[in-house]
């Protein structure tokens, strides 16, 4: 048995079936289509306008129906609304050779895995930066084919227990909040006279600089704020003010609330 989807297709690339062509799928497809190793992709037929636009843009095929998509794929991404995922998977025939990657937020592995038997099912949480191959994707449990497929659109972080995986998925909501934080700073710059385009570029590049220092520059994010923000500095003054306003603990409390909701599988 090959333990890798790429091995399975020595003459080409794995076929990834994208079941559910919505907002996330669009970003995943864009990322895969620009990857150095481009997997073969097959789109499900529903959401016709979006599927057709993607098919046209990237010369992709749309399957005539969901079962044909499964039959012709090695890896199947379930990018469906969470509340529809088990029902849709239950209505399809999978084989042992399939690897099913379920990206539904707040949906436990067991019901999806049972619905897709005898395939192997894993949970993953990619984000929209997959389109530029920068998604930090958490995965549970590890699987060679799933890891190879997801690594084409960013980094893959494997967890071997579902409980910790669910904690890690909260970074996917943090991802969304970072846009808001950056917009707040850029909006402030604009309101004080900086050109809007320049303000956004400045904030994005500053944020990229922080990421680069943590990932390549060897800086520890836990201590670097106070290395830069020493007492008597303007950075230090700002950190003290934010702390006094509980700005940082508000983030931890919000992360707790999101984790609790996602474990319930319900937003409200």
Q: Which residues bind ligand NAP (CB under 6 A)?
A: 19-25, 44, 46-47, 66, 79-82, 84, 88, 103-105, 125-128, 172
Q: How far is the CB of 172 from ligand NAP (least distance, A)?
A: 5
Q: Are 149 and 5 in contact (CB under 8 A)?
A: yes
Neighbours of 4 (CB within 10 A): 13
Query: Element (H or E) spanning 124, and its range?
Result: strand 120-125
Closer Cβ to ligand NAP, 29 or 125, answer by number: 125
Q: How far is the CB of 50 from ligand NAP (least distance, A)?
A: 7
Q: Rounded to an integer, what distance in angstroms lies between the CA atom of residue 268 and that of residue 232?
A: 44
Q: Which residue is nearest to ligand NAP (CB)?
A: 22
Closer Cβ to ligand NAP, 125 or 199, answer by number: 125
Closer Cβ to ligand NAP, 99 or 130, answer by number: 130
Q: How far is the CB of 2 from ligand NAP (least distance, A)?
A: 28
Closer Cβ to ligand NAP, 45 or 229, answer by number: 45
The first and second tokens of residue 169, run together, are: 């998925």
Q: Rounded to an integer, what distance in angstroms lies between the CA atom of residue 154 and that of residue 116?
A: 26
Neighbours of 167 (CB within 10 A): 16
Q: Rounded to an integer, what distance in angstroms lies between the CA atom of residue 172 and that of residue 105?
A: 10
Q: How far is the CB of 64 from ligand NAP (least distance, A)?
A: 12
């Amino acid at each position: 048995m090959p333990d890798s989807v790429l091995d399975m297709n020595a003459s080409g690339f794995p076929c990834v079936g994208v079941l559910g062509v919505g907002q996330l799928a669009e970003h995943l497809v864009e990322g895969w289509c620009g990857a150095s190793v481009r997997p073969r992709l097959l789109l499900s037929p529903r959401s016709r306008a979006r599927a057709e636009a993607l098919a046209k843009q990237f010369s992709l095929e749309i399957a005539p129906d969901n079962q044909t998509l499964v039959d012709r794929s090695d890896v199947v991404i379930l990018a469906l609304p969470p509340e529809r995922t088990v029902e849709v998977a239950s209505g399809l025939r999978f084989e042992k050779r399939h690897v099913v990657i379920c990206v539904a937020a707040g949906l436990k592995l067991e019901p999806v895995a049972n619905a897709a038997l005898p395939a192997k099912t894993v949970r993953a949480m990619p984000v929209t930066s997959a389109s530029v191959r920068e998604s930090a994707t958490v995965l549970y449990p590890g699987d060679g084919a799933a890891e190879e497929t997801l690594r084409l659109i960013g980094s893959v972080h494997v967890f071997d227990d579902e409980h910790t995986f669910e904690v890690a998925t909260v970074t996917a909501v943090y991802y969304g909040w970072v846009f808001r934080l950056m917009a707040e700073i850029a909006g402030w710059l604009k309101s004080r006279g900086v050109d809007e385009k320049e303000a956004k570029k400045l904030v994005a590049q500053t944020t990229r600089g922080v990421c680069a220092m943590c990932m390549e520059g060897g800086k520890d994010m836990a201590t670097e704020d106070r290395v830069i923000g020493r007492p008597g500095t303007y950075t230090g003054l700002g950190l003290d003010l934010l702390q006094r306003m509980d700005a940082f603990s508000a983030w931890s409390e919000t992360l707790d609330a999101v984790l609790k909701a996602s474990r319930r599988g319900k937003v409200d």
